[in-house]
């Protein structure tokens, strides 16, 4: 999956004034300058995925006996149809570092200002997309799964609690992917492809070690029980901790990064 962020011209920003707050705001605007990348393209692809899912649900309804239809549609509670939009935001955050960092430094923006501005931009984008998915989850609920009994925005991973809970889960997931992408982007900016290899290797070893630890201690039952007990809100709260660590790590890595144009 790839996407591009158009390089803005100097006229697209309000210069580079000496006030740091204005420079931070310019970085925020830099992250939103290509509306097609951050808004319209993911919206169109998400709409396409929804249409495909509705088509599948319609086929199930039309070709399944009523006694089996409920069981067939219950399986949509475990779909990963919305995964794309979360992963897409991670790609945007990676490219926010690799494509706009050199440009921002050319505008006399400091690394601290760039980090803060990029973080604010991603928080705003996460809040926007989290709000959109929250609204869609209620539309799906009110229409009984788009009049077909399916699930795309109300799957079990997102919960079905009050509005604050849904908003927290959606926004939290977007923040996790966004700032995890920041970590990848800054590692690449600092150490290039070799840094990516090392980071990927460390994550793979950590994952393998966790799987081995759970398996050797016969703890898979406790692991899944923890997920069930914590629920979507509890799991996402822990994911936000990872997002915060990624954001802090990205900032310190970026302080020593040198863009190579």
pLDDT in tens, 232-255: 999 999 999 999 999 999 999 999
Q: Can you tell me which residue has the tokens 């960092």?
A: 101
Closest CA to 174 of 117, 228, 236, 94: 236
Give the count of beta carbons closer than 10 Å to the beta carbon of residue 200. Answer: 12
- Domain-located, residue 8: no
Q: For the CA atoms of the chain, what is the radius of gyration? A: 21
Task: Provide the whole-model pTM.
Answer: 0.88
Give the count of beta carbons closer than 10 Å to the beta carbon of residue 63. Answer: 9
Task: Convert the pLDDT of each residue in 90-130 to its tens digit.
Answer: 999 998 888 889 888 888 899 999 999 999 999 999 999 99
Strand, coil or helix: 13: coil
For residue 246, give both structure tokens: 């990624």
Closest CA to 12 of 28, 42, 32, 33: 33
- Domain-located, residue 56: yes
For residue 161, give both structure tokens: 């609690």
Task: Convert the pLDDT of each residue in 134-185 to its tens digit.
Answer: 999 999 999 999 999 999 999 998 988 899 999 999 999 999 999 999 999 9
> Within 13 Å of residue 4, how many CA atoms lie on the same side as its CB?
3
Q: Which domain holds residue 70?
A: 22-254
- Kindly compute the dihedral angle of the four CA atoms of residues 218, 224, 226, 228, in this order, to the nearest 10 degrees: -160
Q: pLDDT at residue 85 above 60?
A: yes
- Domain-located, residue 1: no
Measured distance CA(144)–CA(147) in Å, rounded: 5
Q: What integer is the mean pLDDT of 79-87?
A: 91
Contact at 8 Å (CB) between 89 and 177? yes
- Domain-located, residue 16: no
- Kindly compute the dihedral angle of the four CA atoms of residues 223, 178, 232, 199, in this order, to the nearest 10 degrees: 0
Q: How confident is the model at residue 23 (pLDDT cuts 50, 70, 90)?
A: confident
Query: What's the number of domains the chain is made of?
Result: 1
SS (H, E, C) 215-245: HHCCCHHHHHHHHHHHHHHHHHHHHHHHHHH
CA distances from 6 to 12, 34, 37, 67, 113 (A): 11, 6, 9, 53, 21
Lowest mean pLDDT among 41-50, 184-193, 221-230, 252-261: 252-261
């Amino acid at each position: 999956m790839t996407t591009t962020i158009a390089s803005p011209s100097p006229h697209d920003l309000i210069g580079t004034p000496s006030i740091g707050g204005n420079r931070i705001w310019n970085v925020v605007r830099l992250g939103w300058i290509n509306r097609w990348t951050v808004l319209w393209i993911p919206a169109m692809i998400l709409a396409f995925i929804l249409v495909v899912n509705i088509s599948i649900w319609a086929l199930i309804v039309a070709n399944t006996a009523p006694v089996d239809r409920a069981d067939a549609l219950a399986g949509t509670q475990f779909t990963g149809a919305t995964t794309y939009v979360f992963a897409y935001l991670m790609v945007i955050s990676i490219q926010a570092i690799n494509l706009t960092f050199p440009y921002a430094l050319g505008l006399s923006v400091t690394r601290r200002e760039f980090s803060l501005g990029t973080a604010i931009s991603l928080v705003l984008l996460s809040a926007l997309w989290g709000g959109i998915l929250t609204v869609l989850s209620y539309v799906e609920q009110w229409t009984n799964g788009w009049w077909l009994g399916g699930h795309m925005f109300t799957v079990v991973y997102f919960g079905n609690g009050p509005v604050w809970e849904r908003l927290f889960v959606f926004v939290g997931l977007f923040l996790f992917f966004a700032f995890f992408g920041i970590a990848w982007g800054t590692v690449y900016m600092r150490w290039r492809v070799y840094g990516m290899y090392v980071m990927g290797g460390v994550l793979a070893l950590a994952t393998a070690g966790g799987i081995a630890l759970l398996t050797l201690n016969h703890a898979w039952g406790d692991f899944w029980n923890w997920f069930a007990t914590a629920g979507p809100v509890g799991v996402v709260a822990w994911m936000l901790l990872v997002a915060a660590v990624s954001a802090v790590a990205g900032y310190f890595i970026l302080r020593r990064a040198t863009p190579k144009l």
